[in-house]
Structures are given as C-alpha cells and as structure tokens.
Structure 1
C-alpha cells in the first residue's frame, strides 16, 4: 500500500514537532514552537502543502497552533502519544485501495473477492502501524536526524548576506 503525499507530510510534521517538544527541560512546561514556514523549509516540501496538513492535524487535536509574534506549532499530548496507524488512517481518509466504482466501473465489482481482500489488507496495514506511537518513532537515532534538519539561523541584520547569496 502506498500512502498519499498528504499523509507522508503529516507524519513528518508530527515527528518534527515531537522532537522539538523533547528538547524542552523536564522542569518547565515551555515547548519550542515552530512555524509552518520553517517546517516547510526543514522538510523540503511546499509551504502550501504543509499549511493544509497542519490545518488537518490541528482539527484532529494532534498539534496546537498559536498565532502572533511568539506563535507557531507545538505537538499536543494526543499527538505525542498517538498511534501511528490511527494517525495515518485518519490522514488517509476512508477511501478504498482501488476505485471499483470510478468513471468506468469494474465489471467484476458485484462478484469480486479482491475488493474485500484489499480492505482487510488495508486494515491490517494500519493495525501493524498501531504498534508504535509517535514518541516511539522519534527515539534516537531519529531524533538527532530530525533536529539536524533545522536550517542555521540567519542573521537578522539586513546588511548581511547568507552564504551562497547571489549578488546582482
């Protein structure tokens, strides 16, 4: 089974936010908020895609979005402890593996055993992913790799150019 790009991005966003949360001190409740734009850069995906995924993850209660100057995204307790199968299945939606009723319906659809077999395989796929939580996925060595995705902080001095900047 192949997951949609939407689900792939969603899983990566949740993993990255989980690692940002892990960096916090155990004695404080402060978490590191990451902007949608920064996530798009770090994960090398278009901002518009990440924004759509973040909207859905927010609706699901997996991430919390704060607006304003100190805003950004943080993972929720639900997001950290979410079962990966549930998360992937929810992001994928209820669609079937194959479209038997499409513009040209399959002539076998009334007596086909393949459709049921594929539905059972899909359920088994998500059930096997449910053996892990998001927190399980971001344990070392994955956490270090996710943290290394963060681009170096650019200087806020408008007179400075970043390495590799093109001069007209």
Structure 2
C-alpha cells in the first residue's frame, strides 16, 4: 500500500513536533525542515489543528506545538483520516469494472487495507519518535529561528 503525500507529511509533522522540546517552530520552518512546499505543509497543519493534534498560534511568539492528544494519537487513526474511506481500487466511476457484480478481489483488498490500518492502531506518535528516531529528527531540525 502506498500512502498519499499528505498522509506522509502529516506523520512527519507530528513526529517533528514531538521532538521540539518546548520550541515552537512555524509552519514555514517545518516545511523547510521537511523539504516540502509551504502550501502543502500549511494544508496538513490546518487539518492536524482541526483534529486537535496540533496547536497553531499566529504572531510574535507563535508557532506549532503538539498537543497532549497529538502525542498519544494512534498512527492508524491519523492514517485513516488522511487516506479517507475509499477503496484501494476504483471499481465504479466513468468506466465501471465489468466484474463489479461478482468480484471477490475488492473485498479482499478492503480487508487487507483494514489489516494495514489495524497494525498501525496501537502505535502512537510518541512510539515512533523513541530512540533512535527522535535524535535523528532533532538533527534535521533547524530550530525555532531557522538556523
């Protein structure tokens, strides 16, 4: 299974903020650290804020911080939100699959997708930033002043 870029970025933003140690980097700084366009990071941060996983403050002294809920968030739950409820394969649409009425593959793929999510459910953001990952993340971070 391949994750959407937004899902990957959401997980990396959560991980980056989990190791911030009191610093509050801006969305622009996180985007630079992750080497992604600011607009993509801003969309992801907005969704993470909507989910209550990230606190975003504007202005002087502002920045991003992981909430308590964000630290204990299930990776599986985050992936489900960003990936959506869609099927692994598209059986409907402009050219529906001719096997649609009797296909057993779609159900098997749906079960495999759910098993993928279920394997990630017990894993938290805090789990994925434990050593040795946390120190590596700190190494790529530029800090709150971008330097």
TM-score, normalised to structure 2's length?
A: 0.95
8 Å contact 2:29–2:146 — kept in the other structure? Answer: no
Higher helix share: 2
Which digits, 9 at most, give the CA deviation of each residue in 1:36-88, with x for residues without a partner? Answer: 00001101111111001001111111101111111111001111001111111
Q: Find the counterpart in structure 1 of residue 3 from structure 2.
A: 3
CA distance in 2, matches of 1:19, 1:38: 14
Deviation for aligned residue 1:103:
1.6
Secondary structure, aligned partner of 1:68: coil
Larger Rg, first or second structure (1 or 2):
1
Aligned structure 1 segments of 4 or more residues deviating by more than 6 angstroms: none
Matched, 1:71 2:62: yes
> Would you say the 8 A contact 2:88–2:110 is kept in 1?
yes
Distance between the aligned counterparts of 2:146 and 2:49, measured in 1?
29
Find out whether 1:94 has 2:95 as its counterpart: no
Partners of 1:110 and 1:44 lie apart in 2 by 45
Question: Gaps spanning 5+ residues in structure 2: where?
Answer: none
Larger RCO (CA within 8 A; separation ≥ 6):
2
| Aligned with 1:142 (options 116, 120, 133) | 133
1:83-104: CA deviation from partner (whole Å, max 9, x where unpaired): 1111111111111111111221
| Structure-1 residue corresponding to 2:42 | 51
Contact 2:75 2:120 in 1 (8 A): yes
Give the total of aligned pairs: 146
**Aligned partners of 1:110 and 1:34: how far apart in 2?**
51
> What is the TM-score when the length of structure 1 is the normalising length?
0.83
